[in-house]
Structure 1
Amino acid sequence: MSALSASPERAVKGAMSAATRPTSIAALAILFSIVFVNLAGFGLVVPLLPFFGTSLGAPEWQVTLMFSAYSLGQFFAEPLWGRLSDRIGRKPVLMATVAANALGYVALAFAPDIWIAILIRLATGFGAGNISTIQGYVADVTPPEQRAGRMGLLGAAFGLGFIVGPAMGGLLTRPELGHAGYMIPLFVAAGLSGLAAVGVLIFLKESRAKADPTTPRPRFLGGLQDAVANPVVSRVLLMTLIYMAAFSGMESAFGLWAESRYGWGAREVGLSFMVVGVVSVFGQGFLAGRLARRFGEARVIAAAALLFGGSLVAQVLTTAGWMVPVVMSLGALGMSMFMPNTSALISRSTPPDRQGAMLGLNMASGSSARILGPMAAGALFSGLGPNWPFLVGALLTLPAAVMAVNAGRAFRKRQAELAAAPAS
């Protein structure tokens, strides 16, 4: 029998009772604080990347390659770090990856040309692919029925980072200084990541016991066969791939679109992403778990995908700059519902000792979309016009919603089978 075919709901009870587990609320409070600090640095940099790229004299397609390169690194890193955290513990993996963030920002500040910047983003993405490890930590200390809510709170910490980060980036950027005007935000981002690394080292307790060293090491992407065989996880991986292609295309092209459409610079783009962060905090902190408990994770995911797709169409139809943050807030509400419920659905369908690996595969699926999405968005932007990355992204949310519904049906069927089976 596959490891993923066992009942994760039953297995988690034994795992959660281990004496090595930190107190749930205290551990989560520390983790969320660290995530907030780290994501504030990340949110500070993302809105200014298009302008940083153009300050190096790069055309649009090379600018979007910086986003794709980072995601390519994450594609290989997320399953690796997720599996490694299952084996050696979450804390050392988080320590290494957060420190890699800090080094990456410093190196990027001194990049002499766009190709070196792309290579730095590739290396930084590989070093910083830790989202599955963070999600695995949350799953370690959270009962299954509370995971959508706790993943939502984790997303709220991400969202808070995207409130503070873009605002700081907009205020710290000095475009009148040319390329040097974009170095200050990168240094601040490095400092925030360094602070987060110190927080991991001093305050965060380990949530997992180390695996038996005699246990054979899993192969890279070795869990993919089990994931494909799992009717829930396989559908979620495909759904994440489709949805994240739409999202990453919007994210990478937005600054270029706003500059072309309304003459915006890094400050206006940063403030728009700040609005996205505010709405995301509300959605993930207060709505994601409540809606999941009432309607189920899969139905919420489907509705979230459609809401995000509708916001992309509405963004193209805007006629004034002030309307853009309003429309983006609707899309942010959809985004805030999507990711925490996706993670919760995977964790509820996966045994405790495989959650880091399966969540890592899901992040790898999203990272592969983040490779292709920005590249496709850059080609669409340059070849067909500024609106096309958003229109194509809206179309992609339709099959993502269908896959979410199918994953929900598979999950409910599996739960019914487990309920009918005698306890072993």
Structure 2
Amino acid sequence: MTDAPSSEPVKPKAPALAVLFSVVFINLVGFGLVVPLLPFFAQSLNAEAWQITLMFSAYSLGQFFAEPFWGRLSDRIGRKPVLLITVAANAVGYLALAFVPNIWLAIAVRLFTGLGAGNISTVQGYVADVTPPEQRAGRMGLIGAAFGLGFIVGPGLGGLLTQPQLGHIGYQLPIFTAAALAALAALGVLVFLRESRAKADPAAPRPAFLSGLHDARANPVVSRVLLVSLVYMAGFSAMESVFGLWAEDRYSWGAREVGLSFMIVGIVSTLNQGFLAGRLARTFGEARVLATGMLLFGASLIAQVVAPTRWFPAVSLDLGVFTLPVVQGWIIPIVMAVGACGMSLAMPNISAMISRSTPPDRQGAMLGLNMASGSIARIFGPMGAGALFSTLGHDWPFLVGAALTVPAAIMAINAGRAFRAQQAKVQAGTA
């Protein structure tokens, strides 16, 4: 009888956390669904390469401003209404994208959808609200798993649902699917999610936008790692935004081949983060593993450029249910898998280095700055890639991205040295 009162509050948490997992998962599935087809969808609207990459930047620009705004608003009015608003906005944004008549409206819709997708900080806040401190690390890990799983399912599903032979309408089915999934998630928030946030004290000070920037600049580890994050994400988002155009020009690929290639990236990244990155970091240290990941990612970008166009014949992959044609360039997904290994080594070690070199009461602000750094990279990376693609040549976004990984690796090593110096000072002070 004494166990009943303590167990009752736990009952709504399981479906609530499942809904939260689905919110993040659907954000990434929706993002992944449209990533492979966006270049081809935009071409059906007679868009230029720079306009296509601008669609990628617009989405990230929305996320950049939305994350801190929705996070602060959820502290005041509660997590549930913010999650409901943002997920519903995703559904409306995807549905609107399917019917846009021109590229400029498509860019505006992508900006709106990015504003709705900027709810990860609100999700993390809900997890912290309903989870005991000793269990938060594991529950936050579930949110990271949703990222990886969403980026596996989204691109593959988007590629399979696309029907380019039908023209413009053939690119609408994946977008309708993304809208339906977002609507389902909004229904789950409405029905299953209980409010977790106590009413905020109106007299409590509110953190400024990008609070902690001064502290980050003064921290020799965090400042370097944020630059690594900025450079690495700019290179990846640049490749991501022009890859469809590049593959179409070089190997006559369509949305299906591009989508399945990004699905491979998601699979490799998820497996490596789950089973390899932590073990390597414990053995060799975060900074060395981070630097290695940077160089591995850069090498994969160069390998994509120098991969032969005629030495490898076209082959077909028999999946039993259907036969998937793999045209020239089947070596490219293998090269991208190598790059995914480098990316998966980078992401967790960036967060780990920031966390380990920051006081507990500042970790949230520093990790938030890291998210902002990634958003900035996703804004300007595609824009730069579009300019390079249109003016200098189709290979230049990959070559410039590869070149930037070299100073990023050097900064990672220097951040490791700064961290060891910090630890030495702490030990000397406590001796």
Q: State TM-score, norm by structure 1.
A: 0.83
* Shift, 1:316, TM fit: 1.0
Report 1:16-415 matches (<5 A): 31-84=20-73, 93-134=82-123, 154-201=143-190, 212-319=201-308, 320=312, 321-350=329-358, 354-415=362-423
Identity in percent: 73
| Partner Cα separation in structure 2 for residue 208 and residue 410 of structure 1 | 38
Do the aligned partners of residues 405 and 28 (structure 1) sit closer, same or farther apart at CA in structure 2, a change above 3 Å counting? farther
One-letter code aligned to 1:373? G
Tell me whether 205-214 or 161-170 shows the greater mean CA deviation. 205-214
More divergent stretch after superposition (305-314 vs 360-369): 360-369
The root-mean-square deviation of aligned C-alpha atoms, in Å, is: 3.3
What do residues 337-382 of structure 1 show as CA deviations (whole Å, max 9, x unaligned)?
2222222333344455554443332222111111211111111111
SS of aligned partner of 2:159: helix
* Contact 1:241/1:366 (<8 A) preserved: yes
Shift of 1:230: 2.7
1:13-63: per-residue Cα shift (whole Å, max 9, x none)? Answer: xxxxxxx99999998766444422332222111111101110111111111
Q: 1:194 to 1:419 in 2, by over 3 A?
A: farther
- 1:133 deviates by 4.5
Give the direction of change, closer, same or farther, for the CA distance of 1:170–1:194 in structure 2 (3 Å limit): same
Task: Tell me how far apart the structure 1 counterparts of residues 13 and 403 of structure 2 sit (CA, whole Å).
Answer: 40
Does the CA contact (< 8 Å) of 2:23 and 2:87 recur in 1?
no
Contact 2:161 2:173 in 1 (8 A): yes
Q: Does the CA contact (< 8 Å) of 2:19 and 2:185 recur in 1?
A: no
Q: 1:154 to 1:363 in 2, by over 3 A?
A: same
Instruction: Give the greater-gyration-radius structure (CA).
Output: 2
Q: Cα distance 1:22–1:363, how it changes in 2: closer, same or farther (>3 A)? A: farther
- Separation in 2 of the partners of 1:236 and 1:145? 27
SS of the residue corresponding to residue 47 of structure 1 reads coil
Deviation string for 1:48-89 (max 9, x for gaps)? 110111011111111111011111222222333445556766
Maintained 8 Å contact 2:128/2:136: no
**Quick one: structure 1 residues 101 and 296, their matched pair in 2 at CA, closer, same or farther if it must change by over 3 Å?**
farther
CA distance 1:204–1:385, change in 2 (3 Å): same
Structure 1: runs of 5+ lacking an equivalent: 1-19
Q: Which has the higher contact order (CA 8 A, sep 6+)?
A: 1
Extract unaligned runs of 5+ from structure 2. Answer: 1-8, 313-328
